[in-house]
Structure 1
Amino acid sequence: DPDWYTDYSTGTAVPDYSNPYDGESLEENSQYFTARYTDADFSLGSLEVKAFYNHIEKRSLMTELSSVNTFVYTSDNQTVLYGDRAGATASVNSALDFLTEGSNVTWGVDYTFDRTTQETIGGADVIAPMTQNQIAGFAQAEIPVIDRFRLQAGARFDQFFLSVDDFTRPESQTNLLASRGLSVATIGAVDVTGGDFSYNQWTFNIGGVFDVTEDMQAYGNFSQGYALADVGAFTRRAGANTTAELCSISGISGVCTGSGTTSFADISPEPQLVNTYEIGLRGDWDRFRANLSAYFSTSDKGTTFDASTNSISQQKERLWGVEFNGEANVLDWMSVGTVLGYSEGQYDTDDDGEFDSYLPNNRIPTTFKGLLYSNMNFEHDITARAEVEFFSGRSRDIDNKIDGAVLLNAAVAKTFENNGRLSLGIRNILDTDYINPTATATRGINVAGLGRTIALSYQVKF
């Protein structure tokens, strides 16, 4: 429940003490339910059925027109997101000993229902209400080829049915038209025609693990993933996703009159299919454990947000990275470890088939990141953890460079005989002033990271 609006003119977002906040508070009221049933004596193998239902209700803060919030609704700029999601998965693990001893396949079906709406406090829709049904079938097999080599392979087919309701995007204001001599422009409401859409995709994976020694394995795999962009965001800016749309669709008060109509079919981006290749080595030598892997991902239709056009650009892209984690038991009661990661990526900005630019910061906010930690076990079921967390930021875009930081964190916990656990954690112990790389990359302006944060929790398992 903030007292003030935000001032973005100082280079870092800070409270604007001259501008009292007059909107409703930030609020989330969500429920999550899951159920799981297993039957090891099922006739076809080992059966597992999982079901879930989630109800999500999130009220955002009121925002004002600024250098960051460049698009606001004229009459009511505070919204509530509603989501209802339910689904079930049935899977069976069946033996395939007729191939080789120890072979098995996990197969089954998925169903997911998803209904999403977003409204102003006054009840006006700001995105197209949409309902999606997803049905999938899958199979994943593991086959010991020889004593030292195991093969995994799988396939999945997803069928999506998307129903988008008609709605009217409310009248809005923007400050992005200085080139037209307008400091603040009112852009007209837009009627968005929905419709019914369907799309589907096969995805595959294959990989193997080879026992180099009794303590170390080499592995490699190829996998595919299927992802959809935030289609609701495009209806929220319907008629204003590009400056060209402002006059042709929305209309600018005192400047031009648009058609006032558009269709979801002209707004939504295409789904993205990602191919990922990974190789690695891992081992467990009693008091020391380690894993080193490298990956490379490609996509013909990326989902990179282009801030200059307020839209998704869908061109070829590729990402690569290296990850390492290792842990050693230096004493019977203490272990030390590290997690290190590097990632980078490029994309084809002019759609000519050549990779010509690095991906923007909103896709990769920090190039290097890592963690050094120590876990300690004491008498009376007391444990402690100390961490040094660090990240490099990113400097590929000189005009939007993100700085790195080093943070110190710690936690202590006590486990009781009733399976209760009391935990106390402190993040950023030294109250280091730093820039949150992910929020800064997403917003396009420096957003300060959290200062010293203390969390106390009590958990019981029964």
Structure 2
Amino acid sequence: MQGGDRNFDSTVFNGGIVYGLSPEVNVFANFAQGFSVPDLGRVFRRPPAGAVNILDSLQLTEPQKVDNYEIGIRGQWNNLQASIAGFYNFSDLGSDFTVTDDDFLETVRAPQRIYGIEAAVDVQPAENWKLGGTLTWTEGENDEDDDGEYLALNSITVPPLKLTAYVENQTLKGWRNRLQLLYSGNRDRAFEDAVEDAGIDSYLTVDYLSSIKLGQGELQIGIQNLFNNQYFPVYSQYFAPFFDSANYAGKGRTLSVGYRISW
């Protein structure tokens, strides 16, 4: 296939506003435009039938311009910090991939919208104690046929619900201990829309982290997947039906020890 060259340019706009409801609470809204070039390597590692050179594949190689909208509220008090925001992103020519009948990844350019909610909370209930968590829910779809009928994006592009939580204690001066939890939820929508070969199952992991000031640095000890839970990451679950070498479980209980010096 003959090579070629392309020039990309665009003008994008960004703006935001914050309004204080009280000294502790404010609401905010943002509009931002993003501009990016698609993964040309993926496009031309397996070009579509009939592609002759880069100039003939304008839709595949056209940059992606995205309109991003966000609105939310956040508050900060002596022992509590919290925020929640909703977002909506739209592109006339989004960039995604799909799996072909012969198990290759093919780039898809089509109208695309992604939306969701993000929330976070941190609390300091007593001296030497901290706890908190986050929630991220995202959904998205595109219109491959450009007929107004949107189908779900795959679970690599749009991951399932994600929850995190932690509790941390300053056990002694210079010694901190922390337990943290990660929950990745189910996602069946892409499977129901025949975008994926199987639904995504949920899983839960817990990590223990300890840090001790030692000398000029900090000794860090961690136990990932503390309860040795067997689970399959989203990436593995997505690719497993057609790419057997990706069908592997996440790491079991893993001990790590490190020493960090900051200067």
Q: Find 2:11's aligned residue among 195, 202, 206.
A: 202
Unpaired runs of at least 5, structure 1: 1-191, 250-261
Task: Quote the Cα distance in structure 1 between the aligned partners of 2:260 and 2:214.
Answer: 10
Picking from 27, 39, 42, the partner of 1:233 is 42
- From 56, 71, 81, give the equivalent of 1:279: 71
Normalised to the residue count of structure 2, the TM-score between the two structures is 0.88
Partner of 1:211: 20
Quote the residue 2:109 is aligned against: 314
* Residue 395 (str. 1) matches residue 192 (str. 2): no
Q: 3-state DSSP class of the match of 1:344?
A: strand
Structure 2 counterpart of 1:174: none
Q: Conserved in 2, the CA contact under 8 Å of 1:289 and 1:326? A: yes
1:188-220 CA distances to partner (integer Å, 9 max, x unpaired)? xxxx32222211011111111111101111111
* CA RMSD, 1 decimal: 1.9
CA–CA distance in structure 2, aligned partners of residues 373 and 426 of structure 1:
14
Q: 2:235 aligns with which of 426, 431, 438?
A: 438
Matched position secondary structure for 1:220: strand
Change (3 A) 1:312 1:329: same
Q: Which amino acid aligns with 2:74?
A: R
Looking at structure 2, the residues matched to 265 and 453 of structure 1 have their Cα atoms a distance apart, in angstroms, of 50
Whole-angstrom distance in 2 between the partners of 1:322 and 1:204: 23
1:294 is displaced (CA, Å) by 0.6
Tell me which residue corresponds to 1:376: 169
Give the structure 2 partner of residue 145 of structure 1. Answer: none
Q: Post-superposition shift, 1:318?
A: 0.8
Q: Deviations over 1:46-66 (max 9, x none)?
A: xxxxxxxxxxxxxxxxxxxxx
Measure, in 2, the Cα distance between the counterparts of 1:235 and 1:381. Answer: 53
Q: Hey, what does 1:42 align to over in structure 2?
A: none
SS in structure 2 of the partner of residue 331 of structure 1:
coil
2:89 to 271, 292, 297: 297
- Whether 2:250 is the aligned partner of 1:452: answer no
CA contact (8 A) 1:317 1:355 kept: no
**Residue 356 of structure 1 aligns with which residue?**
150
Q: Residue in 1 aligned with 2:54?
A: 264
Match of 1:428 in 2: 225
Matching residue of 1:386 = 179
Q: Secondary structure of the residue that 1:213 maps to in structure 2?
A: coil
- Output one character per residue of 1:115-148: Cα deviation in whole Å (capped at 9) or x when no partner: xxxxxxxxxxxxxxxxxxxxxxxxxxxxxxxxxx
Q: Which runs of 5+ in 2 are unaligned?
A: none
Following superposition, the deviation at residue 417 of structure 1 comes to 4.9
Structure 1 CA distance, aligned partners of 2:79 and 2:113? 37
Aligned equivalent of 1:406? 204
Contact 2:138 2:159 in 1 (8 A): no
The alpha-carbon deviation at position 427 of structure 1 amounts to 1.4
Amino acid at match of 1:232: G
Which has a greater percent of strand? 1
